[in-house]
Amino acid sequence: MQNLNHKNIVKYLGSLKTNSHLHIILEYVENGSLANIIKPNKFGPFPESLAAVYIAQVLEGLVYLHEQGVIHRDIKGANILTTKEGLVKLADFGVATKLTEADVNTHSVVGTPYWMAPEVIEMSGVCAASDIWSVGCTVIELLTCSPPYYELQPMPALFRIVQDVQPPIPEGFSPEITDFLRQCFQKDSIQRPDAKTLLMHPWLQNSRRASSSPRQTNPR
C-alpha cells in the first residue's frame, strides 16, 4: 500500500511496531465512510445524481489500482471514505492482492458476502472484474441503504449470488443506472467492462455534466 499514490486512494503515512502490534498510520479522512453517511439517521439514501459523483471517483481509483496490478477485493460503502470537499478515498486494503501473486490468494473466498462476485464465491479466481461486480452492489447500497440480498443471511445470499442470473435491481431506477448495473452484473467476469470503460457510461457522463463538482452536493 505504501507504493500507491493517487488522489482517490487513502494515503499510507507510515507504521509503528510495538512488541505485540503493528500500527498502520493513514491519512485522516474527515467525513468518514459512505456507509455511515447513508444511515437513516443521517443523510439517508443518495439520489442517483449524487451516487454518480462518488461512483465515478471510485472507478477512477480502481483504474489506478488495476493498472498497478492490484485488486481491492472488498469494495463497499464502508471502505469508501470522503473528505469534506467530497473527494473519495478508497480504504481498507487488508484483503487486497496483486494480480501476480500465487493462486492460493486469487482462489480464496475473501471479501464481504453481499458484495462478492460469483467467481469469488466459487473460488474460480478473483480478477479485476470482481471489483466491478462489487461496484454494482455498492451502487445499490448507496441508492437503497443496503446491498442486494441484504434481507438474507450471508450463506443464503452467497447461494443466490451464484444461482441467480443477476442480483435483483430495485424498481424505480432510471434506465441509465439500470443499464450500468446490468453491465456490472455480467455473470461471466470476462464480459464485464473495466473501470475505464464504465467511466464513459451515460449515467456517469450525464451526471458529470449536470454537477460541476462534488462540493455542491456533498452530504454532511
Give the residue numbers annotated as catalytic, written as ranges.
74
- 50 and 37 in contact (C-beta within 8 Å)? no
Do residues 161 and 121 make contact, with C-beta atoms less than 8 angstroms apart? Answer: yes
CA distance 146 to 143: 8
> Residue 40: how many CA atoms within 13 Å on its side-chain side?
2
Task: List the beta bridge partners of residue 9.
Answer: 90
HSE on the CB side for 182, CA within 13 Å?
Answer: 8
Beta strands 70-71; 97-98: pairing state: antiparallel
CA separation, residue 30 to residues 27, 66, 81, 98 (Å): 9, 26, 8, 29
For residue 165, the 8-state DSSP code is S
